[in-house]
C-alpha cells in the first residue's frame, strides 16, 4: 500500500475502535489493535506505536492469540529501533520471528526479517543486514509477494557488498 493508503486504513480502524464491540466482534477489539499496531509499524509512526503496541500486546496476550502476539512484538521492535534502543528491538523482533515460524506465517516472517535487516543497517552491520534482507527476499519471492520482494531487493542493492557480488556473479555467468 502507498503511504497515504496506510493513513486511510488507520483512520478507518480508529473509527471502528471508537464504535466499540459489535455483533461480529463480540470478544473485543484485539483484531483492530493488531491491525493498528501493524499499520503504525509500516508508517514508522512512533506516536501511534506507543498508543497501539501496548493495546495490541495486552489483547493478544489476553486471548492467547499467537499471531497477534507476534505482530505486537514486531510493532514494539519497530518502536524500539526508532528510539535507538537496538537491543530491545532485536529481542522483540526475535520473539516475533519465533512465533511466526511456529505458525509457518511466511509473509510475516519475511516482514520481520526485513525489520531485522533495517535494524542491522541502523547498527551499521552490513553483513547482518544482507543476511536478514536476503532471507526476507527469499520468503517474499517464494510467496509471489512482488511489492515486498521489490522493496527488499532495492534495499539489498543499496548495500555496497551486494552490488559488487551481484556484478561479479553477473560477469561470471557470461
For 113-169, what is each residue's pLDDT tens digit?
A: 999 999 999 999 999 999 999 999 999 999 999 999 999 999 999 998 655 444 434
Q: Quick check: 3 pLDDT over 70?
A: no
For 4-63, what is each residue's pLDDT tens digit?
A: 554 565 665 566 556 555 544 445 678 889 999 999 999 999 999 999 999 999 999 999
Whether the model pTM is above 0.85: no
Q: Considering the chain, what percentage of its residues have pLDDT values greater than 90? A: 73
Distances (CA, A) of 83 to 39, 47, 162: 18, 11, 28
Amino acid at each position: 500500500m502507498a503511504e497515504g493508503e496506510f493513513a486511510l486504513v488507520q483512520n478507518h480502524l480508529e473509527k471502528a475502535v471508537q464504535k466499540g464491540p459489535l455483533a461480529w466482534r463480540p470478544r473485543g477489539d484485539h483484531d483492530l489493535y493488531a491491525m493498528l499496531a501493524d499499520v503504525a509499524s509500516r508508517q514508522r509512526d512512533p506516536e501511534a506505536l506507543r498508543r497501539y503496541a501496548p493495546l495490541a500486546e495486552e489483547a493478544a496476550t489476553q486471548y492467547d492469540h499467537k499471531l497477534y502476539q507476534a505482530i505486537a512484538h514486531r510493532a514494539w521492535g519497530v518502536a524500539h529501533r526508532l528510539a535507538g534502543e537496538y537491543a530491545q528491538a532485536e529481542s522483540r523482533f526475535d520473539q516475533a520471528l519465533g512465533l511466526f515460524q511456529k505458525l509457518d506465517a511466511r509473509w510475516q516472517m519475511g516482514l520481520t526479517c526485513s525489520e531485522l535487516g533495517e535494524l542491522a543497517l541502523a547498527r551499521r552491520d552490513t553483513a547482518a543486514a544482507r543476511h536478514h534482507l536476503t532471507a526476507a527476499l527469499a520468503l517474499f519471492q517464494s510467496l509471489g509477494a512482488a511489492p515486498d520482494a521489490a522493496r527488499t531487493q532495492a534495499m539489498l542493492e543499496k548495500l555496497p557488498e551486494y552490488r559488487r557480488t551481484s556484478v561479479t556473479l553477473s560477469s561470471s555467468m557470461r
